[in-house]
Amino acid sequence: MRTLRFLLQKEFRQILRSRSLLISIILGPVIQLTLLPLAANFEVKKIAVAVVDHDHSTYSNKLIAKIYASKYFSGGTYHSSYEAANKMIEQNKADIILEIPQGFERNLVREGHEEVYVAVNAINGTKAGVGSGYLGAIVADFNQDVRLQWNQPGHFSEAPTIDVVNANWYNPFMSYFLFMVPGLIVSLLTGIGAFSASLNIVKEKEIGTIEQINVTPIKKHHFILGKLIPYWVLSMFVFTIGMLVSRFAYGIVPVGNIGLLYGFLSAYLITLLGAGLLISTYSDTQQQAVSLAFFFVLVFNMISGVFTSIDSMPDWGKALSYLSPMSHFAAVMRMVVLKGSTFHDIQPHFIAIIILGIVFNTWAVLNYRKTT
């Protein structure tokens, strides 16, 4: 323990001397968590609609007004032909074309049905799918309003209807921030922890102090622990900053036990920092370590479920996600923060993190070749 204490004193002194590192650790998460949730917003709004109205009737005007009354559509333009509206899409000034045929109101009143044509710019598949879904729902709602207007009580027998009432569990107001901010905290913490740990041993190699350490009677596991513990403490501090920003900037209060989050975080950081130290043992320069760390952090982000659902991945993608520590922590963060899950609920993820931590840290200790 005495040897480990001296190693920790050395590491903390080096960290405290680096002002740039301290500034990036303290201010970095604050700035990123303040800006990223606003920029990385997957909600589809302000969809530009180009309208081609060949009817110019009361019903067509009501339909157009109903569309523009929605908060999801904006920047409406009117055109006399489909070709003119299509040029707006080609110039990236419109996302959807709504073409209302001539005789729209007449056919709707006489025949009881009519069709409108919708063309969607599908370069962005997500925006196209969501935007056409929004527009279809508005047209269906307009159709229901017309039917209710025609079927006056006492004159016609109304057809039986089924009302669907939705209950949004865990996120009752469908807040995008409530879902995304916990995942972004995981992503930022993973990046900071992985890069810091991966540069640790490499820095000793470049400045030449690794040779002095190698000729000392320090054991390999003492050396690895001395490199791991300081960044474990700093990462806990970064996580606390992230939770405070989410509380005061977005009003996110964990439903579950905050102590359970810190308990899982402790095991997660041992695994993450072990992976970073493993990268450091394979690298001879800081540039190599940064390149390897960037590669693995990028892969972890893509398969973690923070930005895309793991359930929508192919089978090989799901298998890889189980080997990513980040996917387990992202799932636990959302389970505890949104659902109030207990230790029994997160136990499979905890076991997976423990196994990955043993593998990465044992590998790092064995791979560090200490010459005497």
**Residue 55 included in any domain:** yes
- The answer, yes or no, to whether residue 370 has pLDDT greater than 80, is no
Residues 55 and 19 in one domain: no
The answer as to whether 8 is a domain residue is yes
Are 31 and 56 part of one and the same domain? no
Within a domain: 164: no
Judge if 341 and 206 occupy the same domain: yes
Of 45-54, 162-171, 334-343, the one with minimum mean pLDDT is 162-171
Residue 72 CA: distances (Å) to CA of 43, 64, 131, 297: 10, 13, 8, 34
Is the pTM above the cut of 0.95? Answer: no
Domain span at residue 355? 2-40+175-367
- How many Cα atoms within 13 Å fall on the side-chain side of residue 222? 15
User: What does the DSSP assignment read for 59-106?
Assistant: HHHHHHHHHHHSTTEEEEEEESSHHHHHHHHHTTS-SEEEEEPTTHHH
Rounded to an integer, the average pLDDT of 345-370 is 88
Residue 256 within any structural domain of the chain: yes
**Average pLDDT of the chain?**
83
- Position 265 scores a pLDDT of 94
Of 150, 165, 197, which residue is a domain's last? Answer: 150
275 vs 298: CA distance, rounded Å = 14
What was the pLDDT predicted at 310? 87
In this prediction, residue 371 carries a pLDDT of: 44
Residues 245 and 340 placed together within one structural domain of the fold: yes
CA distances from 331 to 184, 312, 327, 328 (A): 12, 15, 6, 5
Asked whether residue 308 is domain-assigned, the answer is yes
In a domain, 191, yes or no: yes
Query: Hey, is 221 helix, strand or coil?
Result: helix
Residue 166 counted as domain residue: no
Q: Is residue 216 located within the same domain as residue 127? A: no
Q: Is residue 120 part of a domain?
A: yes
H or E segment to which residue 117 belongs:
strand 117-120
Q: Which helix (H) or strand (E) holds 116?
A: none
